[in-house]
A and B are shown apart, each in its own frame.
Chain A
Amino acid sequence: MSGPSTYQPQNAFMKWMERRLPIAGFVHSSFIVYPTPRNLNYWWTFGGILTLMLTAQIITGIVLAMHYTPHVDHAFNSVEHIMRDVNYGWLLRYLHANGASMFFLAGYVHMFRGMYYGSYKEPREVLWILGVILLLLMIATGFMGYVLPWGQMSFWAATVITNLFSAIPIVGEAVVTWLWGGYAVGNPTLNRFYSLHYLLPFVIVGVVVLHIWALHVVGQNNPTGIEPKSDKDTLAFTPYATIKDSFMMVCFCIVFAWFVFYMPNYMGHADNYIPANPAVTPTHIVPEWYYLPFYAILRAIPDKLMGVMALGASIVILAFLPWLDTSRVRSANYRPLYRQFFWIFVAVCIGLGWLGAKPAEGGYVIAARILTLYYFAHFLVILPVLGWIEKTKPLPNSISESILASNRAAS
């Protein structure tokens, strides 16, 4: 997509094909000779890891769908049927459930990397916004997938989250009834969630294609945050990026396998092994860990409508990041103040996550309010102001120069 296609078909068939559908040339220019900055560190491998996780989720999900029954009377037992009687069903199901967690883990690392190195800045705004859309799609897909086993937490998560829409003035109640397909969370709700849970991953695939397309138009950012200027600054995608990505994918799979094979229920909730019961509310309704920071923000606001708006804003605000960050320097390596605020922001997100798992009472609520305020202040106050007052460090002239400098420092 970027860079000239230097592909020369070798045999007669490929020559014939290349004149009609230049797919080999496309792959060659996008994934073989495609120039990548030579100073990319391991944080840049998470895009590849995410692609791997998306593929793994789709494959395990399609097979699980062959054995699952989306009906309130059968869903719970059909999942147990998968766990007990389907050949390697336990493996598929644990891969899929833990795969969702791993998908989000990689997604959050990928986003924080983008924030640290200013990867959202001109000309990568659209690339970044497509990423925010992917996050929204992941959140929706993961939520609906969690409802499918139809345990207590599935049912009550579905009830709590769909009820958020009732906060909309005037039409709220009607919207919720429409979402449910009835007057309570029931069989129509489960059916449509199943349908959408099957559909949305393919929407994600579509947006991922756009995301990679946009990436290949503007090229990758890198730890210095300055654009490659000559051939000396870049390396061919294959073999350099390919081997580095592969190594990290396998390392990531070790972490993934640790959970799947040795503690497959660590990230889940015991309550979800109790079949859904509309008559019994669990003591604590807690979402999966990857939604906890947003859940904490929702509950920090005493007013329901404002809480829902804060929840939505906490995600949508990410899309405006390219314009909220006023600094001309991309990488935090050359922004001494931003670098510290970045790590505070990471700590605040983790703190919100911890509070999201706690009951909404007493000091937890006050702490959640302070951190929520800080979350938004980071985007609306700190980032704009930092861009004006921060004294940045001098940037190197080129990527290759910065590598030479760090090599000299190391030796």
Chain B
Amino acid sequence: MLRTILALVLAGSLLSLTAIAPAAAAGDQPVPPRQKWSFSGPFGTYDRGQLQRGFKVYREVCAVCHGLKLVAFRNLAELGYSEAQVKTIAAEYKVQAGPNDQGEMFERAGQPADYFPAPWPNENAARVRYNGVPPDFSVLAKARTYERGFPWFVADMFTQFQEQGVDYIHALLTGYEDKPPAGVTLPAGNFYNKYFPGHAISMPPPLSDKRVDYTDGSPTTVEQYSKDVTAFMMWAAEPHMEARKRIGFQVMIFLLVFAGLLYFTKKKVWADAH
């Protein structure tokens, strides 16, 4: 009787699930390809050279439309820049300050304590200018993902795979196609992207080969640019990741040793109780 009930419940549930499988498959985006990131895994760290290149791509390409409002110039020291370099970078930006003694707002050169100024005065202005509000980069690498599905999400718990966001952004930046597939018409001012949900994205392909000069000999390709800027976005979203993983390792060692000691103490205490 029991087996029958179990079989019925399971069969009914599974049968109803197979019914929707084809519907779910249609219209889906392809899974972003897995990339190698220096910051993945329990001992991952940011590659300072890559972050500086990524910042250069951000500054020369993305920053025209995308803000970085939660990051301050002083934070750039974490990319390996000296104090003087940070000051120079900050000074290249104009920030609004005031009011002064006369009650007027004024513009001055940026200082390390200032935050990256917004590229547009307000969201409505951005909407008019760009056909949508370009998302801020500060936490974007953590705000994007794709569905892993069963059983991968279970495996991720053990492999510590959590780079879905950066994999997706890298795939998006390299996933433009000049012509949409036959039968697909895009709304005016939209571009076809393999990985963007719905495929119609209002951001034009932002990167092209040789667009940004690299001084360290890295290839000046779309592939390299998009990896570098994505790594930079990950740093912006999770600036304390290195400290987190470093402390985590110490905590793990401590807990494992502590648990071992407690286990043997427990055995000793309970030895006379059995």
Q: CB within 8 Å of B: which residues of A?
A: 38, 77, 80, 83-84, 90-91, 94, 235, 239-240, 243-244, 246-247, 250-251, 253-254, 257-258, 260-266, 270-271, 273-274, 283, 337, 340-341, 344, 348, 351, 354, 361-367, 370-371, 374, 403, 407
Contact = CB atoms under 8 A, between A and B. Distances in A.
A262 B13 contact: no
Q: Is the interface of A mostly helix, strand, loop or mixed?
A: helix
12 contacts: A38-B273, A246-B262, A247-B263, A250-B259, A251-B259, A257-B255, A274-B135, A340-B2, A354-B150, A361-B20, A361-B23, A374-B9
B74 to A, nearest CB: 10
Interface residues of B, number: 57
Nearest to A268: B142
A361 to B, nearest CB: 7
Contact of A257 (B14, B19, B139, B248): B248
B140 to A, nearest CB: 8
Contact of B16 (A91, A265, A370): A370
A398 to B, nearest CB: 16
Contacts of A371: 9, 13
Q: Is the interface of B mostly helix, strand, loop or mixed?
A: helix
A261 B6 contact: no
Contact of A273 (B142, B197, B266): B142
B247 interface: yes
B242 to A, nearest CB: 11
A317 to B, nearest CB: 19
Given A243-B269, A367-B17, A370-B13, A250 B251 contact: no
B248 A363 contact: no
Contacts of B144: 270
Given A240-B269, A243-B266, 11 more contacts: A80-B139, A254-B255, A254-B256, A261-B244, A261-B249, A266-B157, A273-B142, A344-B6, A366-B12, A367-B12, A370-B9
Contacts of A244: 266, 270
Contacts of B244: 90-91, 94, 261, 264
A8 B122 CA distance: 73
Interface string B142-178: 1111000010000011001010110000000000000
